[in-house]
Amino acid sequence: MNGMLIAVLPLSVGFILDLIIGDPQNWPHPIRLIGIAIEKGETLFRHFASKTKRGELGAGAIMAICIILLSFLIPAAILWIAYEIHLILGLAVETIMCYQILAVKSLKTESMKVYKELDKNDIEGAREKLSMIVGRDTVNLTEEGIVKAAVETVAENTSDGTVAPMLFIAIGGAPLGFLYKAVNTMDSMIGYKNDKYLYFGRFAAKLDDVLNYIPARLSGIFMIVAAFFCRLDFKNAGRIFIRDRYNHASPNSAQTEAVCAGALNVQLAGNAYYFGKLYEKKTIGDDMRPIEKRDIILSNRLLYGTAWITLMVCMLGMVVVRWLI
């Protein structure tokens, strides 16, 4: 029994720490270090790569593999040393790592900054806050467009920032969690289908699709369950999930967006501008009512409900596996 409790301790306590502390901007953070490594790596590998399709594909793939290996091996080495010194030290270090990997509170905090600006009727302020958490152009968005973008970001990152990291931690501890975050961070930085990253970032983008394939679908299922407990329209969430979960260029992004749209009875997605270029997108959900700023609050409620359900599933799975072996 003690072994089972020890197995779930880092993830569960790390999860609680994330809900309490979040991600203070002035604190050092390993994910930021990964981001810096990606920036430096891009400069280095582009310098030696030929300016051809094959050259950029190869350079991007090699850089991605290097980032992934470093992101896994460094935490693994630190944990090995810590556990060798003492079990309690190892548990403490891994707990802090798990806390740093998760991003539940920070996602809520950043999206609620958008809500607070809208609540003050400051559209310009809301656009500015939104621009910090989305990749699309925000300068000309209406209030409806701002709310849609914020809700979509919360819904998509429910998987990327919460469910998927917890699943990877449950399978392979904090090192595997950092590996996942490295891939996800690379996708957000170089995974664009534009002239600059179409080839250089392709390996990272495809790998992100592969790693998120199962977690995104589990996230959708967990979110439907969460919609029930959050007293949202869980039946419509399930219906829209089945119907619209592939209404996106990414095979994974619409999984949770579809559930969120159904649970809130609103329509998400549609056309959007990125780097000044219009991208035509399918809509997700039915336009049953106008989307409003309160939906940002509801999407965060769904985020937290999904996070707790995921934690329970992960803890149960870890205990069962430990019991079986």
DSSP 102-144: --HHHHHHHHHHHHHHHHTT-HHHHHHHHHTT-SS--TT--HH
Q: Minimal CA–CA distance to 223: which of 312, 315, 159?
A: 159
Q: Are 117 and 125 in contact (CB under 8 A)?
A: yes
Average pLDDT of the residues of the chain: 91
- For 72-99, the pLDDT digits (tens) are 999 999 999 999 999 999 999 999 999 9
pLDDT score, position 47: 83
What count of residues does the chain have?
325
Query: Which residues in 246-299 belong to E strands, given as ranges?
Result: 268-269, 272-274, 277-279, 283-284
Per-residue pLDDT 10s for the chain (325 aa) are 456 667 799 999 999 999 999 888 788 889 999 999 999 999 998 888 778 888 889 999 999 999 999 999 999 999 999 999 999 999 999 999 999 999 999 999 999 999 999 999 999 999 999 988 887 777 888 899 999 999 999 999 999 999 999 999 999 999 999 999 999 999 989 988 877 888 898 999 999 999 999 999 999 999 999 999 999 999 999 999 999 999 888 889 889 999 999 999 999 987 666 666 666 788 999 999 999 999 999 999 999 999 999 999 999 999 888 888 7
Q: Are 210 and 64 in contact (CB under 8 A)?
A: no
- For 48-66, the pLDDT digits (tens) are 877 888 888 999 999 999 9
d(CA 98, CA 321): 19
Rounded to two decimals, the pTM is: 0.92
